[in-house]
C-alpha cells in the first residue's frame, strides 16, 4: 500500500483570469445528498460536499479555477454537445476535435450509494484524442488549497478533518497534482472516481460500469412511476427528476437550489444562498409529487415539514436547513469574485428569521392537500397546526417582509394577508372534513381577513389587487389568489389583476415579480423575469377558459430551458434570441 505523504501546509487558492459565463451553460448531477454543476466544456465547477449545505470543494463557478475545478476536455480546440440520458440524471458530453476525433464524457453520482461518489467515465469514440485534466479541489468554499498525498493508488486531498480520495482506472492519471495530459485511444474507457472513502482496488476496474448501470436503472425505474402521460411528458419528467435530485434524502427536505451566489441580474447584488428548504414552496412541492403519483416523496416532505416546526411552540421560520436544527448565519465570501463579477457572494441567509405571514398559509395548505390525497384522516401534525394558528393571531395585523423577502421597511403585503386567510381556511376545511377539533374563532379571523384584503388590497381605479395596502404598485404574487381559492378566477377583481399585470409587468410571456426599480425593497438593482410567475399566469388563463393562450405561454416558457431541459428561476428576456443559438448547438 502506498504511504500517505502530505505535501506541506494548506495554501490559499491561486487566481486565474475570470471568464464570461451563462447560467444556461450548466447541467446538474446529484445523489440525494448534494449536487454538482458541470459546464458545457466538461468542467465540474460547483460541488458542496458531502451535502447541499456543506462547504464547496469546487467553486470555480463563483470565482475562477483557483477556487476549485475538475475539468476534463481535449487539449486541442473542440466542439461540445451534451444531453441527459433519457429519463436519468446521467449527463453525457460529446467532444469533437477539429481533426475529427471524438470522445464522450459521462458524469453521474450514484443515488444514495455508499461510499458517496462522483464518477466521470471518459470513452474514446473515434481516433486518438489528446486530453487534459485539471483536478484542483479547494476547501472552505474555494478559499484554501489542500494538502496532497498518495494512498490507495490514488491522490488524497485533505484540509482540516475532510479528505477526498481521487482514483482512476489508469492509476498514473490520479497521481498528478492539479493538471495532467494524456492520450485517449479509440474504444478506451477511463474511469475517474472521487469519494471520501476507499474503493477496493480489486473492484476499481468494474466499479464505474457497475455504478453507471445501477444509476441508470434507478432513475428509469423512478421516472416510470410518473402518472402524467400528456403532451409535455418529456419536460415534466425532466422537472420531476430535477426536483427529486433536490431532495436531501436522509431527511426528506427539498432545497430551493443546490447553489448560492447566482445573481438575479448579472453584475447586480441580488445574490442569495438558496441551499435550504423554504416553507413557502411547500404546497408547490407536495402537489407536484401528489399530482404525478409520487406519494413517497410527498410523505417524506411532510415528515420533514412536521419535524421542522417546534412542536411545543410551533415557531415557524421562513426556511430551515436540510437538517432542521442547522444553524444558518449569513456572511460574505470576500475571496470569491462572483458569477461574472456579481458581488457580494453570500453564504447563509438572514431572511430565515423574517416575519412572513404567507408561511402559515403554505404549511396549512400543504398538510390539507397531503391529507386529501394520501393520508386520509390521520391526525398527525394537527396539534402543531393549531399551535401555528395561535402564533399567527397576534401577528396577522403586523407588517411583514412578504414572499419576496423584502429587506427594507416592512409592509402590509396583499399576498401575505391573503395567505393568512388561507391558513384559517385550510384549518377549517381540515377540521370539518376529517372531524378534528377546531377553534370557533378561526371562522371569524378568516372572514375578517378576506374582507380586509378585498377592501385595502384592491385599488378600484386600477381595477387590480396591489402589491401592498395603500400602494399603487403591482405584484405578480397576486396571480395565485384564484388557485388558493381566495376568489374565483372569473371574479372581475381577478380578471382585472391579471390584465394589469400583463400590461405592466410582462415582456411577452415573461412576467416580472414587481418593478424592482420603483420599490424600496432594501436590496436595490434590477432583476430578470421570474419564470414561476409566467406559469401562474398560464394557470389563471386556464381557469378563465383561455386554454390556447395559456398553452402558448406555457410552451414559450418551456422553450427558455437550456439545451438539457433545465429552467432557471429568473430569465433575462433581452437574451431570448439566444434560444436559436442553443438549438443550433
- The domains of the chain, with CATH numbers, are 23-223 (2.70.98.10), 233-254+277-327+354-456 (1.50.10.10), 462-585 (no CATH)
Q: Which of 468 and 349 is assigned the larger pLDDT? A: 468
On whether the CB atoms of residues 425 and 365 are closer than 8 A, the answer is no
| Closest among 275, 272, 324, 328 to 301, alpha carbons compared | 324
- pLDDT at site 583: 36
- pLDDT at site 316: 78
Helix, strand, or coil here: 478? Answer: helix
- pLDDT at site 488: 98
**Cβ count near 569 (within 10 Å):** 15
Strands (DSSP E) found in 246-392 = 247-248, 253-254, 277-278, 319-320, 331-332, 346-347
- pLDDT at site 450: 98
pLDDT over 70 percentage in the chain: 90
- pLDDT at site 419: 97
Name the residue with cell 430578470.
528
Confidence band for 314, pLDDT divided at 50, 70 and 90: low
Dump pLDDT digits (tens) for 91-138.
999 999 999 999 999 999 999 988 899 999 999 999 999 999 999 999
Average pLDDT over residues 484-493: 98
Highest mean pLDDT among 263-272, 510-519, 569-578: 510-519
Confidence band for 406, pLDDT divided at 50, 70 and 90: confident
Nearest-5° Cα angle at 229, 283 to 27: 65
User: How far from chain centre, in Å, is Cα 266?
Assistant: 19
- pLDDT at site 543: 97
- pLDDT at site 20: 74
**Cβ count near 190 (within 10 Å):** 21
Dump pLDDT digits (tens) for 230-262.
999 999 999 999 999 999 999 999 999 999 877
- pLDDT at site 376: 63
Dump pLDDT digits (tens) for 445-486.
999 999 999 999 999 999 999 999 999 999 999 999 999 999
- Dist. CA 549–CA 429, nearest whole Å: 33
- pLDDT at site 475: 97
- pLDDT at site 302: 93
Confidence band for 308, pLDDT divided at 50, 70 and 90: confident
450: exposed, middle or buried (Cβ count in 10 Å: 0-12, 13-18, 19+)? middle
- Dist. CA 37–CA 316, nearest whole Å: 32
Q: Which of 377 and 46 is assigned the larger pLDDT? A: 46
- Dist. CA 512–CA 526, nearest whole Å: 10
- Dist. CA 511–CA 570, nearest whole Å: 10
| Closest among 353, 363, 391, 390 to 307, alpha carbons compared | 363
Confidence band for 225, pLDDT divided at 50, 70 and 90: very high
| Closest among 534, 481, 479 to 507, alpha carbons compared | 534
Q: Which of 38-47, 329-338, 477-486 is least confident? A: 329-338
On whether the CB atoms of residues 292 and 228 are closer than 8 A, the answer is yes
The mean predicted confidence, pLDDT, of the chain is 89
| Closest among 376, 449, 443, 383 to 413, alpha carbons compared | 449
- Dist. CA 362–CA 580, nearest whole Å: 38
Nearest-5° Cα angle at 95, 90 to 101: 135
- pLDDT at site 16: 45
- pLDDT at site 50: 94
Dump pLDDT digits (tens) for 185-220.
999 999 999 998 666 555 788 899 999 999 999 999
- pLDDT at site 315: 64
Residue 9, pLDDT above cutoff 60: no
- pLDDT at site 19: 61
- pLDDT at site 407: 82
Amino acid at each position: 500500500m502506498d504511504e500517505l505523504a502530505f505535501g506541506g501546509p494548506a495554501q490559499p487558492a491561486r487566481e486565474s483570469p475570470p471568464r464570461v459565463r451563462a447560467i444556461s451553460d450548466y447541467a446538474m448531477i446529484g445523489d440525494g445528498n448534494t449536487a454538482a454543476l458541470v459546464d458545457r466544456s466538461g468542467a465540474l465547477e460547483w460541488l458542496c460536499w458531502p451535502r447541499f449545505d456543506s462547504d464547496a470543494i469546487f467553486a470555480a463557478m463563483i470565482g475562477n479555477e483557483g477556487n476549485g475545478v475538475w475539468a476534463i476536455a481535449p487539449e486541442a480546440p473542440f466542439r461540445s454537445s451534451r444531453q441527459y440520458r433519457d429519463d436519468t440524471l446521467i449527463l453525457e458530453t460529446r467532444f469533437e476535435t477539429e481533426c475529427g476525433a471524438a470522445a464522450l464524457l459521462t458524469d453521474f453520482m450514484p443515488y444514495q450509494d455508499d461510499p458517496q461518489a462522483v464518477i466521470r467515465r471518459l470513452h474514446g469514440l473515434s481516433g486518438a484524442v489528446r486530453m487534459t485534466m485539471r483536478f484542483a479541489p479547494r476547501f472552505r468554499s474555494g478559499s484554501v488549497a489542500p494538502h496532497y498525498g498518495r494512498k490507495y493508488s490514488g491522490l488524497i486531498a485533505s484540509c482540516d478533518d475532510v479528505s477526498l480520495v481521487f482514483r482512476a482506472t489508469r492509476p498514473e492519471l490520479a497521481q498528478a497534482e492539479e493538471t495532467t495530459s494524456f492520450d485517449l485511444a479509440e474504444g478506451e474507457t477511463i474511469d475517474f472516481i472521487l469519494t471520501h472513502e476507499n474503493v477496493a482496488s480489486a473492484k476499481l476496474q468494474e466499479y464505474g460500469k457497475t455504478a453507471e448501470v445501477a444509476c441508470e436503472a434507478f432513475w428509469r425505474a423512478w421516472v416510470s412511476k410518473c402518472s402524467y402521460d400528456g403532451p409535455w411528458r418529456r419536460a415534466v419528467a425532466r422537472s420531476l427528476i430535477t426536483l427529486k435530485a433536490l431532495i436531501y434524502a436522509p431527511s426528506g427536505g427539498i432545497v430551493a437550489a443546490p447553489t448560492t451566489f447566482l445573481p438575479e441580474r448579472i453584475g447586480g447584488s441580488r445574490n442569495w444562498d438558496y441551499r435550504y428548504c423554504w416553507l413557502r414552496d411547500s404546497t408547490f412541492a407536495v402537489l407536484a409529487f401528489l399530482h404525478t403519483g409520487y406519494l413517497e416523496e410527498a410523505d417524506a416532505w411532510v415528515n420533514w415539514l412536521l419535524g421542522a416546526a417546534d412542536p411545543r411552540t410551533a415557531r415557524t421560520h421562513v426556511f430551515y436547513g436540510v437538517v432542521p436544527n442547522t444553524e444558518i448565519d449569513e456572511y460574505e465570501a470576500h475571496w470569491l469574485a462572483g458569477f461574472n463579477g456579481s458581488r457580494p457572494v453570500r453564504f447563509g441567509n438572514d431572511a430565515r428569521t423574517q416575519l412572513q405571514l404567507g408561511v402559515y398559509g403554505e404549511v396549512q395548505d400543504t398538510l390539507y392537500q397531503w391529507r386529501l390525497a394520501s393520508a386520509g384522516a390521520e391526525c398527525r401534525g394537527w396539534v402543531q397546526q393549531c399551535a401555528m394558528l395561535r402564533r399567527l393571531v397576534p401577528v396577522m395585523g403586523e407588517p411583514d417582509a412578504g414572499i419576496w423577502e423584502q429587506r427594507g421597511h416592512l409592509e402590509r403585503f396583499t399576498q401575505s394577508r391573503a395567505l393568512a386567510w388561507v391558513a384559517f381556511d385550510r384549518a377549517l376545511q381540515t377540521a370539518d372534513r376529517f372531524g378534528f377539533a377546531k377553534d370557533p374563532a378561526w371562522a371569524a379571523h378568516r372572514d375578517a381577513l378576506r374582507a380586509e384584503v378585498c377592501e385595502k388590497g384592491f385599488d378600484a381605479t386600477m381595477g387590480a389587487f396591489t402589491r401592498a395596502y395603500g400602494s399603487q404598485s403591482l405584484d405578480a404574487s397576486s396571480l395565485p389568489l384564484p388557485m388558493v381559492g381566495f376568489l374565483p378566477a372569473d371574479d372581475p377583481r381577478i380578471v382585472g389583476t391579471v390584465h394589469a399585470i400583463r400590461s405592466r409587468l410582462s415582456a411577452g410571456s415573461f412576467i416580472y415579480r414587481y418593478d424592482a426599480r420603483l420599490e424600496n425593497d432594501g436590496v436595490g438593482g434590477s432583476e430578470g423575469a421570474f419564470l414561476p410567475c409566467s406559469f401562474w399566469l398560464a394557470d389563471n388563463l386556464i381557469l378563465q377558459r383561455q386554454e390556447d393562450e395559456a398553452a402558448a405561454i406555457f410552451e414559450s416558457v418551456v422553450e427558455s430551458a437550456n439545451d438539457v431541459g433545465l429552467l432557471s428561476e429568473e430569465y433575462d428576456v433581452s437574451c431570448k434570441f439566444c434560444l436559436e443559438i442553443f438549438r443550433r448547438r
